């Protein structure tokens, strides 16, 4: 009975885990790059420089602040879900999650050296990374994960093709309007 139940329940959990890991892999690095670009703004550049020079325990506080600040928004999302506004709830929760992930990724990139000087943080980080790598490697070997990942990759490639097609079509139309405007000596859409 136990093996039947395990065979029945494992594929849905693997698919959910694959979607979460795909979301994590897809989100962490791009958000870190976006935050690095935003960090080039003069005011934020000063704040990032200050955070990067901060002592280790102040760096830890800076690392924990985004989670503490965004927790009420996540709870607000759960409140909306519980009171009959599922789209608003999921949207609020996901927005808080994305913003929080972006901030944590950037602050971690800035303060990793200082944070690793704290013994318990370094040990915890090692344990979490080891566990994450174990879960990733175990999941990557599972056939359901491999099929799900292949479908997600095919979906992503089809979206990329659609976007390229739409962009190419819009660009051709814009060039045609521009050529026509140049011939007439004025803007044609006015």
pLDDT digits (tens, 9 = 90+) for 5-27: 777 777 777 777 766 766 666 67
Confidence at residue 1, expressed as pLDDT on a 0 to 100 scale: 60
- Region 134-149: what's the mean pLDDT? 80
SS (H, E, C) the chain: CHHHHHHHHHHHHHHHHHHHHHHHHHHHHHHHHHHHHHCCCHHHHHHHHHHHHCCHHHHHHHHHHHHHHHHHHHHHHHHHHHCCCHHHHHHHHHHHHHHHHHHHHHHHHHHHHHHCCCHHHHHHHHHHHHHHHHHHHHHHHCHHHHHHHHHHHHHHHHHHHHHHHHHHHHHHHHHHHHHHHHHHCCCCCC
The tens digit of pLDDT for each residue in 160-170 reads 777 677 777 77
The tens digit of pLDDT for each residue in 28-73 reads 677 777 777 887 888 888 888 888 898 999 999 988 888 888 889 8
Question: What is the residue-averaged pLDDT of the chain?
Answer: 81
pLDDT at residue 121 is higher than 70? yes
Stated pTM of the model: 0.61
């Amino acid at each position: 009975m136990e093996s039947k139940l395990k065979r029945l329940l494992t594929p849905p959990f693997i698919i959910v885990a694959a979607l979460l890991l795909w979301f994590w892999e897809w989100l962490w690095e791009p958000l870190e790059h976006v935050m690095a670009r935003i960090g080039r703004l003069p005011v934020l550049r000063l704040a990032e420089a200050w955070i990067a020079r901060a002592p280790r325990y102040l760096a830890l506080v800076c690392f924990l602040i985004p989670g503490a600040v965004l927790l009420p928004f996540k709870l607000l999302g759960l409140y909306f879900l519980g009171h009959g506004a599922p789209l608003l709830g999921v949207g609020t929760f996901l927005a808080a999650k994305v913003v929080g992930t972006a901030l944590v990724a950037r602050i971690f990139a800035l303060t990793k050296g200082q944070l690793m000087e704290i013994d318990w943080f370094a040990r915890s980080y090692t344990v979490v990374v080891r566990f994450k790598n174990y879960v990733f490697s175990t999941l990557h070997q599972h056939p359901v994960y491999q099929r799900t990942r292949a479908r997600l990759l095919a979906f992503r490639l089809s979206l990329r093709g659609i976007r390229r097609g739409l962009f190419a079509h819009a660009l051709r139309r814009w060039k045609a309007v521009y050529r026509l405007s140049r011939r007439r000596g004025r803007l044609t859409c006015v």
